[in-house]
């Protein structure tokens, strides 16, 4: 099979006006009979199959979503808009969407999960349609959409009530409509796009990136003038004003959560620190982007990079190959030899609940970690080369080119979304998720409607499909393990509560502690630390044994990824032995191995 990234020449022989504005209008019947409808149907079948394989339900606390569930339940049960103190994002759209699903599904936990799963598919469908609007051919667009929904962070968080997947999905829907409305005879689509952009702002403050991206795309598309500049800036100012108004209303009504906008305060603190410390933090953030986007976008990169090189002169292509090889080797050496680490090395979903080990476990075998690291370095180097080539294409492309508009939109939004991550002190790998759709479009869409698109070849599409399938299998396994661990942890907590100790003396991990104990132990001001949620625990529920505790119950977890979890991966219910101290959190490797501490023992 030969895969085209863009329509062949014969398909692009359309009137000049249509070429500038985009694809002509189609009837509903034509759309339903098109390959796009079949692709979206196939994506839906795969998404439903993933849901059946993972089997959601039985859990109601993941990462921070216990706080979001509280707010959505207050709205559903009492009609009150109440933000939990642990809430950092705007969350208005999120709790309204979740509350809606509680009216449709009786099981409250399943309702919240279903609300995320629906938008999870919506995000995949939206990136497919956005790619098609940017003249990417159906097969390549389908691989791009699969690359997003098969992402381990995207799939795992689709089975929670976290904001990451819904915010990403609504963002892509807004960008699809804004890009299509601005480059087609259907400007009313832009109105719907701006409405969705406001919904996106209701999820997260980072939606300010959307009007910034539209402004950049409009400035590139039309000759710059004072009137155009003002028209492009007005939506940005409107979004800033709406965000300020929302925060003012929260403050005036006493609803501002303790955690709201905590990242902004942390950024100010870091910015006020020494320049060397700030530059080191930024450099590490750039390394995160290089390796993680290189890994996550690898199935797309292996299509985009060969297609790019085929369009270059032979000598230029050789130089690009040499530069990419040097960069990939240097990046891998930096990660393995200087950092002394392997992928995944960014804390949170991927490292703790995804491809890596769980909690205090040492993670996957070295061979697997090494393979991930080398693949990430190669993907990062090739992807960077393609992005540089896209910038050159944008510089030379016709101003009225619809593809150039969408690529400019995607690149600008992606950069604006990632810029705060460079300087956020407490940053997690899931923050990169909204950037991924923008990267996928920038890699696959090629500006320049009059240019002859090179073929991607026969081998690379097959390799891309294999990579997507492997990524999906790994993500499914990690997601099943994630939910299995959550269910058994809840089972362990239920067992622990039958041992006669009050809940505040049971440390079941900060997620379950937050759900049950937040605000009950310690002061409101001190509640930002999970360590303040438990008062001197007598009972511990964890996957590692604690010093000074005896194991009273061992609950096995049926895992797919064999190296997930310390020891045999069981959840241990442990009681403190008389006369010995306690740990609020899990012991470190050094503490577990030090003779003074030793390991907890099991009751005979």
Percentage of residues in the chain with pLDDT exceeding 70?
82
Distance CA 437, CA 136 (A): 14
pLDDT bin (cut points 50, 70, 90) of residue 30 is low
Mean pLDDT score across all residues of the chain: 82
Angle at 238 between CA 219 and CA 418, to 5 degrees: 65
Distance CA 59, CA 74 (A): 19
On the question of pLDDT at 75 being above 80, the answer is yes
178 contacts 197 by C-beta, under 8 angstroms: yes
Residues 6+ apart with CB under 8 A from 36: 128, 129, 132, 138
pLDDT at 378: 95
Question: Which pTM value belongs to this model?
Answer: 0.88
Lowest mean pLDDT among 64-78, 230-244, 266-280: 266-280
Per-residue pLDDT of 295-332, as tens digits, reads 999 999 999 999 899 888 999 999 999 999 999 999 99
In the chain, what are the domain boundaries? 29-447, 480-576
- DSSP calls for 199-266: HHHHH-GGGGHHHHHHHHHHHHHS---HHHHHHHHHHHHHHHHHHHHHHHHHHHTT---TTTTHHHHH
pLDDT at 563: 64
Task: Supply 283's token pair.
Answer: 């450099």
Residues 6+ apart with CB under 8 A from 149: 43, 46, 47, 50, 120, 121, 123, 124, 155
């Amino acid at each position: 099979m030969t895969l085209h990234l863009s329509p062949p020449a014969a398909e692009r022989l359309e009137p000049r006006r249509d070429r500038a504005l985009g694809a002509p209008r189609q009837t509903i019947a034509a759309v339903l009979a098109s390959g796009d409808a079949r692709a979206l149907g196939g994506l839906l079948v795969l998404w439903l199959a993933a849901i059946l394989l993972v089997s959601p339900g039985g859990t109601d606390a993941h990462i921070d979503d216990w706080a979001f569930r509280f707010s959505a339940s207050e709205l559903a049960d009492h009609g009150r808009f109440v933000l939990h103190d642990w809430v950092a994002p705007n969350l208005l759209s999120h709790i309204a969407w979740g509350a809606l699903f509680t009216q449709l599904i009786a099981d409250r936990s399943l309702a919240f999960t279903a609300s995320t799963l629906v938008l999870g598919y919506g995000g995949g469908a939206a990136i497919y349609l956005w790619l098609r609007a940017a003249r990417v051919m159906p097969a390549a667009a389908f691989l791009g959409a699969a690359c997003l929904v098969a992402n381990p962070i995207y799939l795992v968080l689709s089975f929670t009530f976290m904001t990451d997947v819904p915010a990403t999905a609504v963002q892509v829907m807004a960008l699809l409509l804004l890009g299509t409305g601005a480059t087609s005879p259907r400007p009313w689509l832009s109105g719907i796009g701006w409405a969705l952009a406001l919904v996106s702002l209701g999820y997260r403050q980072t939606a300010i990136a959307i009007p910034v991206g539209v402004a950049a795309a409009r400035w590139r598309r039309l000759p710059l003038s004072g009137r155009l500049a003002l028209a492009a800036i007005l939506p940005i100012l409107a979004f800033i004003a709406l965000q300020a108004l929302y925060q003012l209303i929260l403050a005036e009504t006493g609803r501002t959560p303790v955690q709201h906008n905590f990242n902004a305060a942390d950024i100010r603190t870091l910015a006020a620190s020494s320049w060397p410390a700030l530059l080191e933090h930024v450099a590490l953030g750039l390394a995160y982007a290089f390796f993680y986007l290189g890994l996550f976008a690898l199935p797309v990169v292996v299509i985009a990079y060969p297609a790019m090189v085929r369009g270059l002169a032979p000598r230029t292509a050789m130089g690009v190959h040499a530069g990419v090889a040097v960069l990939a080797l240097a990046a891998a050496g930096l990660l393995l030899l200087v950092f002394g680490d392997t992928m995944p090395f960014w804390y949170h979903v991927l490292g703790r609940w995804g491809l890596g080990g769980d909690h205090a476990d040492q993670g996957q075998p070295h061979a697997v970690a090494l393979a991930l690291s080398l693949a990430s370095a190669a993907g990062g180097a090739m992807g960077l080369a393609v992005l540089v080539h896209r910038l050159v294409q944008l510089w030379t492309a016709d101003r009225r080119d619809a593809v150039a508009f969408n690529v400019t939109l995607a690149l600008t939004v992606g950069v604006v979304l990632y810029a705060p991550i460079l300087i956020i002190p407490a940053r997690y790998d899931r923050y990169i998720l909204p950037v991924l759709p923008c990267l996928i479009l920038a890699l696959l869409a090629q500006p320049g409607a009059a240019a002859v698109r090179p073929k991607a070849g026969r081998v690379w599409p097959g390799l891309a499909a294999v990579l997507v399938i492997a990524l999906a299998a790994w993500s499914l396994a990690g997601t099943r393990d994630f939910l299995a661990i959550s269910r058994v942890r809840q089972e362990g907590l239920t067992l622990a509560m039958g041992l006669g100790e009050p809940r505040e003396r049971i440390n079941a991990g900060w997620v379950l502690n937050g759900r049950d104990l937040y605000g009950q132990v310690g002061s409101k001001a001190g509640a930002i630390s999970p360590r303040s949620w438990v008062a001197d625990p007598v009972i511990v529920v964890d996957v590692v044994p604690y010093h000074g505790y005896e194991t009273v119950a061992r609950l096995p977890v049926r895992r797919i990824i064999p190296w997930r979890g310390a020891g045999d991966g069981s959840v241990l219910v442990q009681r403190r032995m008389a006369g010995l101290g306690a740990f609020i959190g899990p012991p470190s490797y050094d503490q577990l191995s030090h003779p003074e501490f030793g390991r907890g023992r099991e009751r005979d």
